[in-house]
Structure 1
Amino acid sequence: MSTPCDTPASRRTRANGDGTVYQRKDSRWEAAGYVLAPGNTRKRIRVYGSSRTEALAKLTEKIAVSNRGVPTVTAQDSLATYLVYWLENVAIHHLRETTHTRYTAVVEHYLIPGLGKKKLAKLTAKDVRTWLNDLRTVCQCCARGIDAGRDPHAQVSRRPRCCAIDQCCRRRLSPLTLAYIHSVLKSALEHAVREEEIPRNVARNVRTGTPRPRRFNPLTADEARQFLAAAEGHRHAALFELALRTGLRKGELLGLYWEDLDLDSGTASIRRTLQRTTSRGLATLPTKTISSERRIALPASCVASLRAHRARQAQEKEEASTRWQASGHVFTRPDGHPIEPATLTRHFNALLREARLRPIRFHDLRHSTATLLLEQGVELVVIKELLGHAHIGVTATIYTHVRLRLQRQAIDLLGNALGNLDQSDDRDDPPLCAAPVR
Structure 2
Amino acid sequence: MTRRANNEGSVFQRKDGRWVAAITLGYAGGRLRRKSAIAVTKADAKRRLRELQQAAEQGLALAPDPTLADYLRKWLAEAAPRTLRPRTLAGYTSIVERHLIPALGRIRLCKLHPGDIDTYLNRVVESGLTTRTAQYHHAVLRRALGQAERWGYVGRNVARLVTPAQVRQRDMAPLTPDQARLFLAGIASDRLQALYAVSLSLGLRQGEALGLTWADVDLDARTITVRRTLQRYCGAYHLDDPKTQRSRRTISLPAPLAEALRQHRVRQNEERLRAGPLWAGDWNLLFCNEIGNPLAGAEVTRRFQAKLIALGLPRQRFHDLRHAAATFLLAQGVPLRVVMEILGHSTITTTANVYGHVLPELQRDAMDGQGAYLFGS
TM range (shorter): 0.7 to 0.9
Matched AA of 1:85: K
AA aligned to 1:264 is: D
Counterpart of 1:350 in structure 2 is 306
Of 311, 322, 342, which aligns to 2:266?
A: 311
In the alignment, does 2:173 pair up with 1:217? yes
Matching of residues 125-144 of structure 1 within 5 Å:
125-133=114-122, 135=124, 139-140=126-127
Q: Provide the rounded CA distance (Å) in 2 between the counterparts of 1:344 and 1:389.
A: 24
Is the contact between residue 255 and residue 272 of structure 1 (CA under 8 Å) also seen in structure 2? Answer: yes
Structure with higher Rg: it is: 1
Which 5+ residue runs of structure 2 have no aligned equivalent? 15-19
Choose from 45, 53, 73 the match for 1:84.
Answer: 73
Q: Is the 8 A contact 1:248 1:366 kept in 2?
A: yes
Q: Are residues 379 and 54 of structure 1, via their aligned partners in 2, closer, same or farther at CA, if it must alter by over 3 Å?
A: closer
Q: Report the alpha carbon displacement of residue 239 of structure 1 after superposing the two structures with TM.
A: 1.4
For the residues of structure 1 that align with 2:181 and 2:172, how far apart are their CA atoms? 19
User: Match of 1:230?
Assistant: 186
| Counterpart-to-counterpart distance in 2, 1:314 and 1:211 | 46
For residues 188-247 of structure 1, give each alpha carbon's deviation from its aligned partner in whole angstroms, at most 9, with x where no partner exists: 111112223223222223333643323443110011001110121222222111111001
Q: 1:93 aligns with which of 82, 85, 102?
A: 82
Q: Displacement, 1:176? A: 2.4
Tell me which of 378, 382, 401 is aligned to 2:357: 401
Deviations 1:104-156 (A, max 9, x none): 333345433444333322334444345445555xx31xxxxxxxxxxxxxxxx
Structure 1 counterpart of 2:240, one-letter code: L
| Aligned counterpart in structure 2 of residue 256 of structure 1, from 189, 206, 212 | 212
Would the aligned equivalents of 2:287 and 2:295 in 1 still touch at CA under 8 Å? yes
Stretch of structure 1 that moved more, 336-345 or 122-131: 122-131
Q: 1:103 to 1:30 in 2, by over 3 A?
A: closer
CA distance in 2, matches of 1:404, 1:54: 48
What is the Cα deviation at residue 387 of structure 1? 0.9
Which of 137, 144, 161 is matched with 1:188 structurally? 144
Superposed, which structure 2 residues align to 1:24-423 within 5 Å? 30-32=23-25, 46-47=34-35, 61-62=54-55, 64-66=57-59, 76-133=65-122, 135=124, 139-140=126-127, 171=128, 173-208=129-164, 210-279=166-235, 281-326=236-281, 327-407=283-363, 413=368
* 1:310 aligned partner, one-letter code: R
How much does 1:386 deviate?
0.8
The letter of the residue matching 2:24 is A
When residues 364 and 204 of structure 1 are mapped into structure 2, their CA distance, relative to the original with a 3 A threshold, is same
TM-score w.r.t. the length of structure 2 is: 0.81
- Secondary structure at the residue paired with 2:294? coil
Moved more, 305-314 or 124-133: 124-133
Going from structure 1 to structure 2, the CA distance change for 1:63 and 1:76 (only over 3 Å counts) comes to: closer
Q: Tell me, what secondary structure is at the counterpart of 2:65?
A: coil
What is the alpha-carbon distance in structure 2 between the residues aligned to residue 336 and residue 127 of structure 1? 49
Equivalent AA in structure 2 for residue 366 of structure 1: R
| Closer, same or farther: CA 75–382 of 1 in aligned 2, 3 Å | farther
Question: For the Cα contact (< 8 Å) 1:10–1:21, is it kept in 2?
Answer: no
- In the TM superposition, residue 34 of structure 1 has moved relative to its aligned partner by 9.1
SS at match of 1:291: helix
**Count of equivalent residues:** 361
**1:261 shift after superposition:** 1.2
- TM-score w.r.t. the length of structure 1 is 0.71
Q: What RMSD over aligned residues (CA atoms) do the two structures have, in Å?
A: 3.8
SS of the residue corresponding to residue 170 of structure 2 reads: coil
Relative distance call for 1:225 and 1:110 in structure 2 (3 A) is same
- CA change 1:57–1:392 in 2 (3 A) is closer
- Report if aligned partners of 1:251, 1:275 keep a CA contact under 8 Å in 2: yes
Contact 1:10 1:22 in 2 (8 A): no
Alignment partner of 1:401: what SS?
Answer: coil
Between the aligned partners of 2:310 and 2:114, the Cα distance in structure 1 is 53
Question: Are the counterparts in 2 of residues 221 and 372 from structure 1 also a CA contact under 8 Å?
Answer: yes
Counterpart Cα distance in 2 of 1:130 and 1:408 = 48
Deviation at 1:186, TM superposition (A): 1.3
Counterpart Cα distance in 2 of 1:28 and 1:107: 30
The alpha-carbon distance between structure 1 residues 242 and 121, as it changes in their structure 2 partners (threshold 3 A), is same
CA separation of 1:118 and 1:354: change in aligned 2, threshold 3 A = same
Q: Distance in 2 between matches of 1:358 and 1:59?
A: 56
- Cα deviation for residue 255 of structure 1 reads 1.0
Letter in 2 for 1:122: K
Q: 1:391 to 1:416 in 2, by over 3 A?
A: closer
Q: Structure 1: which 5+ runs fail to align? A: 1-7, 36-43, 141-170, 425-438
Secondary structure at 2:357 match in 1: helix
Residue pair 1:75, 1:119 contacting (<8 A) in 2 also: no
Which stretch shows the higher mean deviation, 246-255 or 98-107? Answer: 98-107
Mapped contact 2:52–2:151 kept (Cα < 8 A): no
User: Could you tell me how far apart the structure 2 residues matched to 1:104 and 1:245 are?
Assistant: 36
Mapped partners of 1:365, 1:29: distance in 2: 54
Identity %: 40
Provide the C-alpha distance between the structure 2 equivalents of 1:408 and 1:56, rounded to a whole number of angstroms: 57
Higher RCO, 1 vs 2 (CA within 8 Å, ≥6 residues apart): 2
